Amino acid sequence: MLSEKDNRVLTQVGAGTPMGELLRRYWMPIAAVTELDDAPTKAVRLMGEDLVLYRDKGGRYGLLDRHCAHRRADLCYGYVEDHGLRCHYHGWRYGETGQCLAQPYEEMAHPEARFKDRIRLTAYPMEARAGLLWAYLGPAPAPLVPTWEPFTWTNGFVQIVFSEIPCNWFQAQENSIDPVHFEWLHGNWSRTLRGAGGRAPTHLKIRFDEFDYGFVYRRVLEGQSESDELWTVGRSCLWPNCLFTGGHFEWRVPIDDHRTLSVGWFFDRVPNEMEPYTQDRIPYWYGPIRDPQTGRWITTHVMNQDFAAWTGQGTIADRTQEHLGESDRGVIMMRRKLLDQAEVVARGGEPMAVIRDAELNRCITLPIIGRDRFVNGASRASFKEANSTPGAFLPEGFPFVAGQPEEVRKAYRRAMGLD
């Protein structure tokens, strides 16, 4: 159980709130690079701020206030030029720093006034990495966008999957440090939904350890032992808002206090027979979360089951009403750490896991179960034999999110040599 005050601190993400300020010290993935090939501007709401994301014809990314400084037109209807984004209403043009670069009628009427020099929109740095577009809303100087180890891997098929979830970010992130839910929400519930019998292996033991980039959670399942990688290596609850399983990342990016953008980055290693494989375009797609027929949440896929659990806790879970037990030790550790790090920021300090060392950032290693398969691959036959490591065992379909478009399915199967 949590006090009403701590619950508020953990869940509010606006500028000037303790957690909003902590989260603003980290880069957040907000879109896919290929998304802007399809449309060069995108409306973005991030931590309660309404913004427009664009890529101009010179290849520069910008993230600006959604509304024009002139008379507040919506800049996501603006159009990109060689440099910057031009408002569709009276043609004011802005660069990626937010500086107004052109005011056509003002420059004709009063060229000497240089009115544009005094106009600057709120603007945030953007960077592309691993097929994702990252935004930084914190104070300068911006840290580095983390080069997590899987971003350096080759011979893989990557896809990026977004889902908009109508609940607060923090109940989503609590799920990143909750090993026991896997047995019930995924293992046993999936069996029940399919009408299959039997039970998923039960958890015999769990443990949580802090490391430089968050927490590692470990488990021993029925039929396994402490020599298994699920215990010796574990999986990561990545600081501050991500789950990292080894083969994929799931960021829980706050749209505002009531909505979360789930951003999944999935890596599937091609079997050795398909090497060398280079992906010319990282596909992205948006997964539906509700079944239009029944109006109920979709429950057929792993992450959809998570979404159903999170939204079921309420838009903002009322943690004053909960009853925590032994399985929730990790959740408690993470809450404490977030409250502690929010205080560090409030006192003017630098919180944990902010990366500023370029040498270190060439490749940040993480605990990875089955690393060798991701890095060196394996033959098709031996991929098929392995069955304990999602992302490394050549699945026929995509088990994580419902609604994968046919062209992505085909591209995946071609890459893997499944067709």
Least distance to Fe ion, CB of residue 241, Å? 15
* Distance between start and end Cα atoms, the chain: 51
Least distance to Fe ion, CB of residue 184, Å? 10
Which C-beta is closer to ligand FES: that of 32 or that of 68?
A: 68
In angstroms, the CA 166 to CA 45 distance is: 13
Which C-beta is closer to ligand FES: that of 109 or that of 346?
A: 109
Which C-beta is closer to ligand FES: that of 60 or that of 70?
A: 70
Number of residues that bind ligand FES (CB under 6 A): 9
Q: Tell me the pairing of strands 242-244 and 123-124.
A: unpaired
Q: Which does 35 bind (CB under 5 to 8 A by kind): ligand FES, Fe ion, none?
A: none
Q: Is 87 in the site for ligand FES (CB under 6 A)?
A: yes
Least distance to ligand FES, CB of residue 77, Å? 10
Alpha helices in 26-153 (DSSP H): 35-38, 104-109
Q: Judge whether 110 and 117 are in contact, CB under 8 Å.
A: no
Which C-beta is closer to Fe ion: that of 49 or that of 306?
A: 306
Closest CA to 70 of 124, 120, 110: 120
Q: Is the dihedral of CA 286, 28, 259, 328 positive or negative?
A: positive
Which C-beta is closer to Fe ion: that of 183 or that of 306?
A: 306
Least distance to ligand FES, CB of residue 91, Å? 6
Among 90, 120, 203, 413, binds ligand FES (CB under 6 A): 90
The 3-class secondary structure across 272-340, one letter per residue, is: HHHCCCCCCCCCEEECCCECCCCCCECCCCHHHHHHHHHHHCCCCCCHHHCCCCHHHHHHHHHHHHHHH
Among 26, 27, 92, 217, binds ligand FES (CB under 6 A): 92
Q: Which does 306 bind (CB under 5 to 8 A by kind): Fe ion, ligand FES, none?
A: Fe ion
Among 57, 71, 110, 384, binds ligand FES (CB under 6 A): 71
Q: Judge whether 251 and 242 are in contact, CB under 8 Å.
A: yes
Q: Is 115 in the site for ligand FES (CB under 6 A)?
A: no
Torsion angle, CA of 378/380/381/382, rounded to 10 degrees? Answer: 20
Q: Which does 87 bind (CB under 5 to 8 A by kind): ligand FES, Fe ion, none?
A: ligand FES
Stretch that binds ligand FES, among 87-95, 168-176, 230-238, 321-329 (CB under 6 A): 87-95
Stretch that binds Fe ion, among 7-15, 42-50, 72-80, 304-312 (CB under 5 A): 304-312
Least distance to ligand FES, CB of residue 83, Å? 17
Stretch that binds ligand FES, among 24-32, 90-98, 335-343, 386-394 (CB under 6 A): 90-98
Instruction: Tell me which residues in 11-70 interact with ligand FES (CB under 6 A).
Output: 68, 70
In angstroms, the CA 419 to CA 417 distance is: 6
In angstroms, the CA 156 to CA 269 distance is: 4
Phi, psi of 270, rounded to the nearest 5 degrees = -75, 150
Which residues are paired to 252 by β-bridges?
262
- Tokens read off for 249: 């990342």
Least distance to ligand FES, CB of residue 93, Å? 9
Among 34, 60, 89, 380, binds ligand FES (CB under 6 A): 89
Which C-beta is closer to ligand FES: that of 70 or that of 191?
A: 70
Which C-beta is closer to Fe ion: that of 103 or that of 404?
A: 404
DSSP string computed for 183-226? IIIIIIHHHHHHT--S-PPPEEEEEEEEETTEEEEEEEETT--T
Q: Which does 110 bind (CB under 5 to 8 A by kind): ligand FES, Fe ion, none?
A: none
Among 50, 60, 73, 153, binds ligand FES (CB under 6 A): 73
Which C-beta is closer to ligand FES: that of 68 or that of 165?
A: 68
Which C-beta is closer to ligand FES: that of 98 or that of 247?
A: 98
Instruction: Tell me which residues in 235-254 interact with ligand FES (CB under 6 A).
Output: none
Q: Is 306 in the site for Fe ion (CB under 5 A)?
A: yes
For residue 89, give Cα distances in angstroms to 23, 287, 414: 34, 33, 46
16-32 residues labelled b (16+ CB within 10 A) or e (exposed): ebbbbbbbbbbbbbbbb
In angstroms, the CA 239 to CA 73 distance is: 37
Q: Which residues bind Fe ion (CB under 5 A)?
A: 306
Q: Which residues bind ligand FES (CB under 6 A)?
A: 68, 70-71, 73, 87, 89-92
